[in-house]
Amino acid sequence: MTVIVPVLGDQLSAGLASLKAVPRDDAVVLMAEVAEEAGYVPHHKQKLALVFAAMRHFAEDLRTDGWTVDYRRLDDPANLGGLSAEVEAAVARHGAERIVATLAGEHRVIALQAGWGAGTGVPVMLLADDRFLVSEEAFAEWASGRKRLRMEDFYRWQRAETGVLMVGDVPVGGQWNFDKENRKSLPKGVSVPEAPRFAPDAVTREVIAMVETRFPDNFGSLARFNWPVTRVQALEALGRFVDERLVQFGDYQDALVEGEATLFHSLLSTSINLGLLGPRECIDGAVAAMELGAPLNAVEGFVRQILGWREYVRGIYLLEGPDYVRRNALGATRPLPAIYWRGGSGMRCFDSAFDQTRDLAYAHHIQRLMVLGNFALLAGVDPFELHEWFLVVYADAYEWVEAPNVIGMSQFADGGLLGSKPYAAGGAYINRMGNHCAGCRYSLKVKSGPDACPFSYLYWDFLARHEAMLSSNQRMWTVYDGWRRLQPERQAEIRADAARFLAGLS
């Protein structure tokens, strides 16, 4: 019996549920580069090149391993342009009697998969994606009946369930969380090891040329493409991170440093999201490094990102359904400002994050959250427009992970489902965490007028705009006390600066 096994662009794992479920001799693995997926948002050029290059390498690995692979290239004139059309044609081409697939990560693709049975006339078996540590059902059970769905509660539950960094029922080191130790700015003299280089091979170079020709107007540059595109490279990236950067990952996790795009971050999100690495092997790699002297605050910080945040946001995405991306609890309506596409805002922190986003398709978490996201929050940008932007510009962007981070964590657009208060901060925070302010055309010392730091007056203006909704939140009492202590003339000055700046922004 011939079985079509469609493998999606982010399902590049040899242990994928559907590959485990079908005997090799019965299976025709279908992998299709389709315009529909390449164009549902106009992805960064590096994201397109990364996914297609990784797909082509994975197809070769499968063939070497004895699988029959039907690979549909984007530049093949016979390419049908859509995933469902390719699945239907493959069933007919191979006289297949069944389809076995692994459930997609995103609601949009899950909806396509649901139509494959009707479209092809053969039975479809959809298997849960067991590459995540927590199943959709287990998350729903954990969530059911809870008053609040906080990441910290989820994370502690997962630590206990998995036994990671646990001694019996007790967390290693006597604490669940070392977040407070992970907020240092980078002192002068601490050098950052260079991230590993993955020079594109002939396959990747061909893909890069295709993307450049076919998507010339998409955002971003391909010149500095440096992503792992095979499992071997992804394992090297993991090993190099654990050996060279993990030790300082914890201390400087939140730092913002001019000219240091990646700091001690792992750069592993693209590989994990594509399926080249499993989350558990990343966690195990970091935990094992403790025996070689990696400090607990670094290892726990890294484990929390993967066992905690990554699993948690995926659970929230599936639980909340496709409408989650349309939430707008703060009623923000400003169109996405052009500086998100062109940069050149004059705000050094923003431009630095923007430039590296354009050149590397990467920004680390604090740049995404506390600079690019925070600015949109303070400026009242429509969260759906921002969500689409974040989906476009990063090489690791998939809706299941991006949307809860943008709509929930960064924009508070879900009204506090994900975060207990908005991640809003003024220029003083950015100055504390990094060194951008020293080279900025704006100044934190200037309190008002065209040279004052926009983050500072926009922060107060944001609080004032949303006082009715946010001031009753206990975690906001201190900042609202601060706002109310300002003289009415000072408050008026701040609001006038914000109005002038926002008018210029539009």
Q: Least CB distance from residue 414 to ligand SF4, whole Å?
A: 27
Which token pair is 30? 């279908």
The reply to whether 494 sits near ligand SF4 by the rule CB under 6 A is no
**Among the candidate windows 300-308, 332-340, 440-448, 487-495, which touches ligand SF4 by CB under 6 A?**
440-448
Distance CA 501, CA 506 (A): 9
The reply to whether 502 sits near ligand SF4 by the rule CB under 6 A is no
How distant is the alpha carbon of residue 384 from its chain centre?
A: 16
Among 275, 279, 285, 427, binds ligand SF4 (CB under 6 A): 427
Determine the size of the site formed for ligand SF4 (CB under 6 A).
14
Answer yes or no: are the C-beta atoms of 298 and 249 closer than 8 Å.
yes
**Among the candidate windows 72-80, 213-221, 287-295, 426-434, which touches ligand SF4 by CB under 6 A?**
426-434
**Among the candidate windows 29-37, 335-343, 357-365, 448-456, which touches ligand SF4 by CB under 6 A?**
448-456
Of residues 132 and 460, the one with the C-beta less far from ligand FAD? 132
Among 252, 442, 457, 459, binds ligand SF4 (CB under 6 A): 442
Q: What is the DSSP string of 245-300?
A: IHHHHTTTTT-B-TT-SSTT----HHHHHHTSS-HHHHHHHHHHHGGGT--HHHHH
The reply to whether 363 sits near ligand SF4 by the rule CB under 6 A is no
Q: What is the DSSP letter of 173?
A: G
Distance CA 425, CA 458 (A): 9
Between the alpha carbon of residue 273 and those of residues 40, 83, 256, 304, 500, the distances in Å are 18, 19, 24, 17, 41
Burial of 444 (0-12, 13-18, 19+ CB in 10 A): middle
Phi/psi at 28 (5° precision):
-115, 110
Amino acid occupying residue 302: F
Q: Least CB distance from residue 470 to ligand SF4, whole Å?
A: 22
Quick one: what does residue 268 bind among ligand SF4, ligand FAD, none, with the CB cut-off 5 to 8 Å set by partner type? ligand FAD
Of residues 11 and 410, the one with the C-beta less far from ligand SF4? 410
Quick one: what does residue 73 bind among ligand SF4, ligand FAD, none, with the CB cut-off 5 to 8 Å set by partner type? none
Q: Least CB distance from residue 438 to ligand SF4, whole Å?
A: 8
Can you say whether the dihedral through the CA atoms of 185, 189, 193, 195 is positive or negative? positive
Neighbouring residues of 211: CB distance < 8 A, sequence distance ≥ 6: 45, 48, 49, 52, 218, 222
- For the chain, the first-to-last Cα distance in angstroms comes to 60
Buried b vs exposed e over 365-397: b needs ≥16 C-beta within 10 Å? bbbbbbbbbbbbbbbbbbbbbbbbbbbbbbbbb
Of residues 75 and 194, the one with the C-beta less far from ligand FAD? 194
**Among the candidate windows 68-76, 232-240, 278-286, 435-443, which touches ligand SF4 by CB under 6 A?**
435-443
Among 437, 470, 476, 479, binds ligand SF4 (CB under 6 A): 437
Of residues 344 and 415, the one with the C-beta less far from ligand SF4? 344
Quick one: what does residue 5 bind among ligand FAD, ligand SF4, none, with the CB cut-off 5 to 8 Å set by partner type? none
The reply to whether 376 sits near ligand SF4 by the rule CB under 6 A is no
Residues binding ligand FAD (CB under 6 A): 265-269, 272-273, 302, 305-306, 309-310, 313, 364-365, 368-369, 373, 390, 394, 396-397, 401-402, 405-406, 409-410
The reply to whether 462 sits near ligand SF4 by the rule CB under 6 A is no
Of residues 22 and 51, the one with the C-beta less far from ligand FAD? 51
Q: Strands 170-171 and 166-167: what pairing?
A: antiparallel
Distance CA 181, CA 450 (A): 36
Residues near ligand SF4 (CB under 6 A): 347-349, 427, 430-431, 436-437, 440, 442, 444, 453-455
